[in-house]
Amino acid sequence: MTFNYDEYIRPGKLPHIWCPGCAHGIVMKSIIRAIDRVGLEKDKTVIVSGIGCASRMPGYVDFNTLHTTHGRSLAFATGVKMADPELNVIAVAGDGDALAIGGNHFIHTCRRNIDITMIVFNNNIYGMTGGQFSPTTPHGRLASTTPYGNPDYAFDVVELSIGAGASYVSRSTAYHAIPLERQIADGIAHKGFSVIDALCTCPTTYGRRNKLGNATEMLMWFKDNTVGVKAAEKMPPEKLEGKILTGVFKKEEKPEYCDEYAKIIERVSAKG
Amino acid sequence: MAEKVRQEETEVAQYEERKIVILPRHCKGCEICVLLCPASVLEMKDFKAHVARIEDCTECMLCEIRCPDFAIEVYQSGKKGKAK
Ligand SMILES: Cc1ncc(C[n+]2csc(CCOP(=O)(O)OP(=O)(O)O)c2C)c(N)n1
Ligand code: SF4
Ligand code: SF4
Ligand code: SF4
Ligand SMILES: [Mg+2]
């Protein structure tokens, strides 16, 4: 089962810029395998990002790619999808990109239910700019901008997406790279807006400051501190304390935005 | 056949039908593969991953799947080594 990534990598682009042990590379590999699993045509696939370490991802892969402005991956992705709904559009963003500066685009894309798959590279920090806290930095954690501990509480990407109306919502981690691949494939195949919360790590600006150990220990933390949502149903609440739930949380068939928009055009043009 | 984009210098270890390939130019020495390997097949050598005991490899693929840098490939033989 050795996977040959060569077909999907732009010649001469590796090694990538990510730090040693940064889990962004593991998530990128899961995305590539998911696209291969679904069998998307390379020329019919567009990968759009904003700005950040995570957003460097499209530069390495051989699809139609857009590296845009901070927080705006979904704005550009929506434009691409509206211009040609036949294209498979995948948006990637860091937690800061997706939920801080891009938070408004995020919630409104959720409620609009446009057929885009969004993968949040959630490392709980602004990695690229040196470790400022993000909307997913847990309460009490250290960041360059919260040197005495973060007084804020983190967004739960899954709850936020469900509340805002996304029709496919799941979570996995870089440790669980194969389930992550399956969820991304599932999200791509789903018609509507899909959000995959991909928990990953930034050993350089987050792990070190919070003394979370080396890159491997940070990955192993996911193994020990996550529980599948189905297994959790059968577990007593005390066993779930402090655990992060993973799995598919929502999968709902509902009208998709491009289809609805096309219907309006048809109806209004018929009237002449 | 896709153009080979990662076929520079490689370190190839072979045991019967099993093969493990390391691409030193891509390896950043993060040690994830070495520390996750359940059979202690891998070691660090000159700040890069190195295949030390290929005969013990269980072909679990943990190292390949979780290497962030596309730097290690495991070609399975179907015969598993023994995890210690
Ligand atoms: C409009 C604008 N504001 C701020 C920045 C600076 N900036 C670049 S990346 C980034 C945050 C990156 O964090 P995240 O999105 O979580 O990605 P990561 O680097 O952690 O993968 C910020 C604030 C910018 N490039 N543009
Ligand atoms: S700063 Fe953090 S997120 Fe950025 S490449 Fe390094 S480890 Fe990864
Ligand atoms: S496949 Fe498994 S046993 Fe073999 S080297 Fe990799 S991690 Fe170790
Ligand atoms: S996981 Fe990859 S980059 Fe890290 S030491 Fe192993 S081969 Fe090198
Ligand atoms: Mg981040």
Nearest CA of chain A to the CA of B66: how many Å?
A: 6
Ligand 3 atom, smallest distance to B72 CA: 6
In this complex, is the C-beta atom of B79 within 8 Å of any C-beta atom belonging to chain A? no
Taking CA atoms, A9 is separated from A5, A42, A66, A109, in Å, by 6, 11, 15, 29
Taking only the tens place, the pLDDT of each residue in A186-243 is: 999 999 999 999 999 999 999 999 999 999 999 999 999 999 999 999 999 999 999 9
CB contacts of A4 in chain B (<8 Å) are 2
What residue type is A14 in one-letter code? L
Q: Model confidence over B1-26: pLDDT tens digits?
A: 344 555 568 999 999 999 999 999 99
DSSP string, A105-165: HHHHHHHHT-SEEEEEEE-SSBTTTT-B--TTSPTT--BTTBTT---S----HHHHHHHHT
CA distance A10 to A213: 33
Q: Which of A1, A5, A26 lies at the smallest CB-CB distance from B76?
A: A1
Kindly list the structural domains of chain A, giving each domain's residue range(s) and its CATH number in brackets, ordered by start. Answer: 24-269 (3.40.50.970)
pLDDT score recorded for residue B6: 58
* Identity of the amino acid at A140: G
Residue whose Cα lies nearest atom 2 of ligand 3: it is B60
Which pLDDT does position B1 carry in this prediction? 39
Comparing alpha-carbon positions, the chain B residue that sits nearest to A204 is: B30
Q: Mean pLDDT across the stretch A69-97?
A: 98
Tell me the shortest Cα–Cα distance from A193 to chain B, in angstroms.
27
Q: Which chain A residue shows the shortest CA-CA distance from B48?
A: A20
Q: Please, are residues A205 and A225 in contact by the beta-carbon 8 Å criterion?
A: no
Nearest ligand 3 atom, CA B36? 7
Q: Per the CB < 8 Å rule, is B32 touching A174?
A: no
Check whether A13 has a pLDDT greater than 90: yes
Burial class for A124, CB neighbours closer than 10 Å (0-12, 13-18, 19+) = buried
Cα gap A89→A78, rounded to integer Å: 9
Q: For a substitution probing ligand 1, which of A16, A24, A48, A51 has the most ligand atoms within 8 Å of its CB?
A: A51
- Return the CATH fold of B26-80: Alpha-Beta Plaits (3.30.70)
**pTM assigned to the model:** 0.97
User: Nearest CA to A116 among A66, A154, A163?
Assistant: A66
Helix pair angle (A73-83, A103-112), 10° resolution: 30
CA dist A75 and A80 (Å) reads: 9
Angstrom distance (rounded) from CA B6 to CA A6: 7
Ligand 3 pocket: which of B55, B58, B73, B79 to mutate (most atoms within 8 A of CB): B58
Residues 6+ away with beta carbon under 8 Å from B27: B48, B49, B69, B71, B72
Nearest CB to B68: which of A4, A12, A21?
A21
Compute how many other C-beta atoms are within 10 angstroms of the C-beta atom of residue A31: 25
Query: Using one digit for the tens of pLDDT, what is the confidence trace for A15-48?
Result: 999 999 999 999 999 999 999 999 999 999 999 9
| pLDDT score of A80 more than 50 | yes
Q: Are A75 and A33 within 8 A, CB to CB?
A: no
Q: Does the C-beta of A203 come closer than 6 Å to ligand 2?
A: yes
Check CB contact under 8 Å for A6 and B2. Answer: yes
Residue A19 in contact with ligand 2 by CB distance below 6 A: yes
Distance CA A131, CA A219 (A): 19
Q: Any idea which residue has 């696939």 for tokens?
A: A45
| Average of per-residue pLDDT across A111-138 | 98
CA separation (Å) from A117 to A30, A46, A87, B71? 14, 11, 12, 28
The ipTM, to two decimals, is 0.94
